[in-house]
Amino acid sequence: MRKFSISSTFLFGLYLLFTALISALDAREKITAAEYQQRRDKVVSLMDNQSVALLSSGTTKARAGDLNFPFYPDPNFYYLTGCKDAGAFLLLAPQGIKIEGAAATQVLFLASGYNAYTGDLRGEVPVLDSSGAMVIADKKHFDEIRHQVLSRADALYVPAWPQGFLHDPISDKRFFIEREAKKAIKEKYSQLPIKSISAPLAQMRQLKSEQEIALLKQAASITSRALCEVMRSAETGMYEYDLQAILEYAFKRLGAEDVGFNSIVGSGPNAIILHYDKNRRCIEAGELVLMDVGAQYEGYGADITRTFPVSGRFSPAQRELYEIVLRANREAIQIMKPGVPFKEVEAKAAAVVADGLQKLGIIPEAKAVKNYLPHGVSHHIGLETHDAGEYKLLQAGMVITMEPGIYIPVESTDVDVKYRGIGIRIEDDILITPNGHEVITDEVPRTIAEIEKLMKEKGLGQIRIR
């Protein structure tokens, strides 16, 4: 028998193959440096030659002393840089910015040094492509460079300022952030028109790249599988937070870094509160539970709602309303394809709900549907749960929700008592494809038969803590 000896060349070859495979997998799971570069190049190509764009990642907010609330970078800034540092700035200038003897059209300013509280090595941008056009500069140069570019620019592009105002209770004065900022800029650079960069960024962000779609599918899969685990585990007498704990445990176990928004776990009449997230109530026998939840994966978040009976079986009245919502969800998704206006999809869902409620005698005419379906039923998802977009025509590459519902408040004395106190929403995430659409949240069941079957399976159950 011939003795087989593994040569070091062979082993090295295997090692190379293995590392190439690992990095290929890794690359699929992240937005690449090249993609961030393409996004910045596109913005620069849309700007007038003598203009400047300035984006900020935002600032941290203290919760107690040196402890901060979680920091989420401004989504437009993050979309262009992949940088999660607080207090960072991005300057874009088609005519070039002189910095440390070189000229660049894109400069990212970061604080340098080690942060002893967070352990972060500030100034590290893992996604930076050294071949890209962006230069990283120390933030200590920012004031000087900003002044240099703003004094000679003929327009300044900025994303929208944070909405709202700060109220000083002593002077009883309101400081509207946008008004105050614009006033201060005018005082310093009177010649400088201020233009919004939000619209072009929304046009870009509403069309997802292949990598963004892969990340959204991953977030949708994690969310779906976690919801299945919750449905297998739900029992009468659990608290809403028990279900939240099982869900978010599964999110983490499946690799999600965060929730994209506070998990909504509304049982019984709490399901009628659209964004209820207190999650403190004990779930009683026979009640429905509405869970509107989304895992976030590499910055991208899903948004799924399922409504299920805690006992594992829908009552006849719950069934009647559920079937209407399900039909609205299915029929509105069915018409999704490129070229269809957002408002047509919205109208379709509302019309199906209106028809169903009229047939049950809950509303006298279609326009009364808004009493029991008081919200829009479709939005983009992405870096933000309600993601940036124009909301005009559907286009291939968009990823949007469809989330019709029926909410009958307990005090609706004009509605048959059997329907009162019921809240139902069914929300799916849909990729618009060149020829139609693809539902990316099919891993979690939505029909009554499928849900009742799933709920018979054994789940994690009540995790006992001694």
Chain positions contacting ligand GLY, by CB under 6 A: 261, 292, 303, 385, 403, 427
CB of 339 to Mn ion, least distance (A): 23
Contact 310, 238 (CB under 8 A): yes
Contact 307, 426 (CB under 8 A): yes
Residue 403 CA to residue 424 CA, distance in Å, equals 10
Is the backbone of residue 365 left (phi > 0), alpha (psi -120 to 50) or beta?
A: beta
Residue closer to ligand GLY (CB basis): 298 or 403: 403
CB of 381 to Mn ion, least distance (A): 7
Residue closer to ligand GLY (CB basis): 108 or 291: 291
CB of 190 to ligand GLY, least distance (A): 42
Residue nearest to ligand GLY (CB): 292
> Among ligand GLY, Mn ion, none, what binds residue 261 when CB lies within 5 to 8 Å by partner kind?
ligand GLY
> Among ligand GLY, Mn ion, none, what binds residue 57 when CB lies within 5 to 8 Å by partner kind?
none
Give the binding site for Mn ion (CB under 5 A).
292, 303, 401, 403, 427
- Strand ordering across the sheet containing 155-158: 134-138, 102-110, 89-99, 51-56, 155-158, 194-196
Number of helical H runs and strand E runs in the chain = 11, 23
> Among ligand GLY, Mn ion, none, what binds residue 206 when CB lies within 5 to 8 Å by partner kind?
none
Q: What is the DSSP letter of 51?
A: E
Residue closer to Mn ion (CB basis): 401 or 441: 401
- At residue 290, what are phi and psi to the nearest 5 degrees? -105, 120
CB of 192 to ligand GLY, least distance (A): 37
Helix 448-456 vs helix 210-233: crossing angle, to nearest 10:
60
**CB within 8 Å of 337: residues ≥ 6 apart:** 394, 432, 433, 435, 436, 437
**CB within 8 Å of 405: residues ≥ 6 apart:** 305, 325, 373, 375, 377, 423, 424, 425, 426
Residue closer to Mn ion (CB basis): 267 or 401: 401
Residue 325 CA to residue 304 CA, distance in Å, equals 14
Residue 459 CA to residue 457 CA, distance in Å, equals 6
Q: What is the DSSP letter of 239?
A: B
CB of 295 to ligand GLY, least distance (A): 12
Residue closer to ligand GLY (CB basis): 81 or 263: 263
CB of 293 to Mn ion, least distance (A): 7
Residue closer to ligand GLY (CB basis): 249 or 261: 261
Residue closer to ligand GLY (CB basis): 242 or 303: 303
CB of 373 to ligand GLY, least distance (A): 13
CB of 275 to ligand GLY, least distance (A): 7
CA angle 396, 397, 398 (to 5 degrees): 95
The helix (run of H) or strand (run of E) holding residue 196 is: strand 194-196
CB of 304 to ligand GLY, least distance (A): 9
Residue closer to ligand GLY (CB basis): 43 or 290: 290
Question: DSSP for 355-370?
Answer: HHHHHTTS-SSGGGGG
Contact 362, 415 (CB under 8 A): yes
Residue closer to ligand GLY (CB basis): 55 or 353: 353
Distance set, CA 69 to CA 31, 60, 62, 299, 355 (Å):
26, 7, 6, 17, 46
